[in-house]
Amino acid sequence: MTTFTQLNEQDAPGISIHPDRRISKINPNIYAGFTEHMGRCIYGGIYDPGSPLSDENGFRKDVLEALKTLNIPVVRYPGGNFMATYHWLDGVGPKDQRPSRPELAWLGTETNQFGTDEFLKWCEVLETEPYFCLNFGTGTLDEALAWLEYCNGTRDTYYANLRRKNGRQEPYNVKYWALGNEVWGPWQVEQTTKEAYAHKAYQWAKALKLLDPSIQLILCGQDGTASWDYYTLKHCMLPVNSPLSTSGVPLIDMHSIHLYTASSSHLPNATAPLAAERAIEITSSLIDLARIENGVPNDQVRPTICFDEWNVWDPIRAEGSKGAEETYTLSDALAVGVWLNVFIRKSKDVGMACIAQTVNVISPLMTTKDGIIKQTTWWPLYLFSKYMRGWTISAHVSAATYDGETSPKWVRGVKDTPWLDVSATLGEDGYVNVVVINIHEEKAFETKLDGPTGEVTVFTVTGENPTVTNMKGKEEVGISESTWSAQGSYVFPKHSLTLLRWKA
């Protein structure tokens, strides 16, 4: 949690950090990933069996090595919009018997050479948990139950035995399952209404948890600010043993929301993720409202928010049907830093967040036939995933604000937009970690810091200007490491992300 006092432009900013004031535990799942059968995310991204850089499974070793440094806890699969016409049985069993199908989300052809068993094997190699999204378009409840049985079944039943026949004796124990993806959107095959979705989602949830009560189910929300979110929460977040369900466990564990931000202008781009912060706040209130209106008892676990698609993405400059391969700038890296600051500040409410996507498609990591490229946005993600864990702690920022146009425009009326965007954590190792993002294009800020003691390790991400990239044959944005004595003020460079780290 970070509080804010607005100063005049001529006043020197200040930041106070309070390690003794723990606000909320940070769920490691905020550093989750997302892989979709889209562009080069799967084929040529994580799976490239013809490459000398791949292992015996066809997995790109350089991609795995890079992703392991992020300590990714969960990866969502196989979509996304792709899910609306995907049938999981096409992607299991002997590869020479798997059908190729027209793919309607991104207008491609799906060969099904990479499917359930390949993805779950990849997760085991990466040491991450899988998160599956169910087909709420052309799929059926029987198909969903069969997939759950295939993955988690332990009995002598048809789909559990099919898994064994395909070479996997023990269950995979897939914990996270989404009840559809963006089914409110006109781009979806089998787009539906909030009324029809809420009824279907709750009935599917009841059946899925009868088969496996241990799983966690994620409701399909919109962006957290829509009537869709209110209606689906109101009609699906019911007390245990309500008249619609005899289940002894809650049927809905998380509520999913999605948002992408982007602007061609630096300052609207860097402040755009504050829209996500307001969306989380609104969604949290809608969860409380649904629980109050439905009489959910206080001892029933409160659902959290699953922000399972987020990133900087301009679908005009990186069109989805053409692979959505973004070239990210320093400005985009600072925006990703603000996104991650939001998740730290709102850790009480966020149970999972999945950057979309993990490789090649609107991704911080790109593959070539010769290796990988770490885009500008890789570096804030790396620093956060390595250091910003444990507990969100209290911080207070006093600073002047950016008062210009925002994207979306409504951010201007609902959020402060200080020049310094801040979050702070206390790790289990006893270290305080503070991220300060100076979004100003032209001005460094000499800032009084109240809290740091002893020697402070400093990591800085910046570049010559907000437009520089890492996609032109040289790395123009990376991490520089230094130390600071914690004496006097600290100067945060213009257009920079700084992580300060010291022993509490």
User: Which amino acids are annotated catalytic?
Assistant: 182, 309
In a 13 Å sphere around the CA of 2, the CA atoms on its Cβ side amount to: 30
Helix, strand or coil, per DSSP, at residue 1 = coil
Q: Which residue has the tokens 């890492």?
A: 470
Residue 53 structure tokens: 């850089």
Contact 114, 43 (CB under 8 A): yes
434: amino acid identity, one letter: V
C-alpha dist (Å) from residue 321 to 155, 188, 234, 358, 363: 42, 14, 35, 17, 16
CA-closest candidate to residue 490, choices 440, 441, 444: 444
d(CA 128, CA 152): 17
25 and 391 Cβ atoms separated by less than 8 Å: yes
- Whether residue 258 contacts residue 309, with contact meaning beta carbons closer than 8 Å, is answered with yes
DSSP state, residue 489: -
What's the token pair of residue 199?
Answer: 């009824």
CA atoms within 13 A on the CB side of 90: 16
Check: CB of residue 327 under 8 Å from CB of residue 277. no
For 327, other C-beta atoms within 10 Å of its C-beta total 14
SS3 78: coil
Instruction: Find out whether 134 and 179 touch, Cβ atoms under 8 Å.
Output: yes
Look up residue 346 and give its two tokens: 């709102």
Rounded Cα distance between 299 and 350, Å, is 19
**Whether 39 contacts 325, CB under 8 Å:** yes
